[in-house]
Structures are given as structure tokens and as C-alpha cells.
Amino acid sequence: MENGHFTRQEIFSQPEAWTAALKDLDQSRQDILDLKGNHGFENIIFTGCGSTYYLSLAAAALTQEMTGLACRAFPASELWLYPGSSFTAGTTLLVAVSRSGETTETLRACQSFLDGKRGTLLTLSCCGGMPLAKMGELNLVLPSGQEQSVAQTRAFSSLYLGTVALACLWAGREDLFASLSKIPEVGSRVLKTYFSLATELGRDAGLDRFFWLGSGPRQGLACELSLKMKEMSLSHSEPFHFMEFRHGPKSMVTSSALTIGLCSTVNGQQELSVLDDVKALGGRVLAISETGLESSSHGSKQVVRFGSGLDEAIRNVLYLPVGQLIAFERSLSKGLNPDRPTNLDSVVKLL
């Protein structure tokens, strides 16, 4: 099998995986609504490990923004080993996210939560027969996210869509929940339109460091894309909140640095100005956003535009494919195999 055989297939099949996941979520719609109706939880904690921790960061920010509930995210190891500095009082819903459903830290965090009678557990995974999918009061399983590769792509984006669906339903936004069905078609278009740009950037041997900027509901996604670049291509890769980049990390900008901005609409101008600063320092920039960004003072940037016409709350998954492809192509250009990243296993199991 050639290097990247599975990862390529998994990245490009995301739209189909999303369609199947959304059908599964629609079948669980009433269970999802009843969970909140029956328990009236005051706060939500999202948890996972590695990619699924970053997914939890993104899910917590979006869910709080949409529902007004206090939402936070922790690595599962923090909940397991440091419950005193992570769990809070009040009726809590714990949303545990895991591709495999058997990561030890995640299982132990859930067991500690249940043993402490801290609230209600909802699990979200891709494998129904695994331990996690038996622990929750509600266990959502999205098998279309299953994958062969170690580094998550299709699993991450499908599970992330699952948390977006939760936020829409718990916010009473059935209209946005229904609009999610339009996401896969836009995803397909983004993959087709920008595959060559992602390949060009991924294969650019003149780049030696990557910065991923994202804020609010997009910060966790910036962390995930940075991890993809690290896992797949063994490159210097770091995520930052947009405005934080000026407070030190900007010192690392050179002509061999690519800064990828997950630009919002709501704060597009502020975020664009950070990318302008990077361009002024001679850094390379890729701006990913919904619409064409106003031309900036430092010449044109390389841009990815979704043009989805969808609400900002439900279209964040569209930031993932191009970033995944840049990491994927860089891995191949370095002669690595993104299907089997160096030093990594697909599941971390502890004794």
C-alpha cells in the first residue's frame, strides 16, 4: 500500500461520512433533547484526549455561545487525576468524545465522574462495541467516522459535527440543526476547489514552520490542525488565539513560516489585521473564511473561501479539510507515511 493510502481516502470521504453521521444524529434527535429536558444540567464539561480534547475545546466554546450554559473542556487525564481542579459543583453533563471508545484516560475520567455521582454522562464515539459506548446514559455512535489511519481526520470532523448537532438542539435551533444537511455538499466543493492549493502549500519545501490561528469556537480547530501537521509531517507547528499571536509568538515569523488563519465573519477585520502584520513581516499567509476578505494593506493573501451561505455557528467544520490536506501533502513530500505517524498508536491504552 502506498504511503497515505488510507489517510487520503479518509480525508476525501469526509462529506459522505458527514452525511451518514447526520442521519444517525437525526435518529437520536429526541433522545438528545430529552437528555437536557430530563436533567436540566447547569453546566457541561466536554472531554477527550489529543484530537478529541481539541474537539472538546471547540465544542465547549460553540455550545456555550449557543446555549448560554457554562461549558468547559478538559483533557480526560485532568478529570481522572485532578478532579478537584476540574469538576465543578452544580448539575453537570459530561460529554466524553473518543474515536476508539477505549482510550484508558477517557474511560477512567468517565468512571470517576460516575463514581462521584457528579451528574449525567453522554458518550460520543465511532465504535459501538467498545467500553465507552456502554457507559453513558446516552451513547451516540457515529460509525461512518471509523478510520484505519492513526491521525484522526474523518473521525474528528464527524464527531465534531456531532457536537455541533448537540449545541443546535440544546439551543432550540431546529432550523440550524436542519441546515447541517447542507454542510457535506459545501465540504465536497471546498475539497475539489482547494485541493491543488493545499498540495502546493504542503509540498513547498521552502516552508519550515506553521502557525494556526483561531479564536472562539475555532480555537480548538486550530489546535487540531496544528496537531495534524505535527503528527503527519513532524514539522514545527503551533496554534494560537488570533490576537495572542502579537504577544510574543510573532517573533518566529520568517519567509519560511506559513500562518493559516481560521478567520471568522464576526471578527474578520480584527483577525485579518493580524494576518496583515504577518505579511508585513515577510511571512506567508493563508486566510480561510466564509467570504472573500476585504483586500488588505499588504497585498493579496492566499485564500480559501467557503461561500456556504450558512450560519457561522454551523460551518466551522469546513475549516478542517484544507488544513488536513496541507499536513497530508507535506508528510508525503517528506517521504513519511501519514497512515502510520512516527511514534504514535491509534489508541493509548494504559495498564
Q: Could you list the residues that contact ligand F1P (CB under 6 A)?
A: 48-52, 98-100, 103, 106, 150-152, 344, 346-348
Q: How far is the CB of 105 from ligand F1P (least distance, A)?
A: 8
Query: Contact 3/336 with Cβ under 8 angstroms?
Result: yes
Report the C-alpha gap between 96 and 101 in whole angstroms. Answer: 9
Q: Would you say 145 or 283 has its CB closer to ligand F1P?
A: 145
* Nearest distance from C-beta of residue 233 to ligand F1P, angstroms: 14
Report yes or no: 46 and 162 within 8 Å, Cβ to Cβ: no
Nearer to ligand F1P, 131 or 261 (CB): 131
Least distance from ligand F1P to the Cβ atom of residue 185, Å: 27
Ramachandran class of 216: left when φ > 0, alpha when ψ lies in -120 to 50, beta otherwise: left
Cell of 232: 503527519
Pairing relationship of beta strands 236-240 and 257-262 according to DSSP bridges: unpaired
- What minimum distance in Å lies between the beta carbon of 130 and ligand F1P? 9
Nearer to ligand F1P, 60 or 304 (CB): 60
CB nearer to ligand F1P: pick between 55 and 258 = 55
* Distance, CA of 276 to CA of 284 (rounded, Å): 10
Closer CB to ligand F1P, 142 or 258, in the complex: 142
Which residue's CB atom is positioned nearest to ligand F1P? Answer: 50
Tell me how far, at minimum, the Cβ of 328 lies from ligand F1P, in Å. Answer: 14
CA pair distance 104, 9, nearest whole angstrom? 28
- Cα–Cα distances (Å) from 255 to 14, 165, 262, in that order, read 33, 40, 20
Least distance between ligand F1P and beta carbon 75 (Å):
9
Residue 63 CA, chain-centre distance (Å), reads 14
| Pick 14 or 52: Cβ nearer ligand F1P | 52
CA distance 60 to 66: 10
Residue 266 or 344 with smaller CB distance to ligand F1P: 344
Alpha-carbon separation of residue 249 from 131, 166, 212, 252 (angstroms) = 41, 35, 11, 6
CB of 98 to ligand F1P, least distance (A): 3
- Nine-digit cell string for 274: 493580524
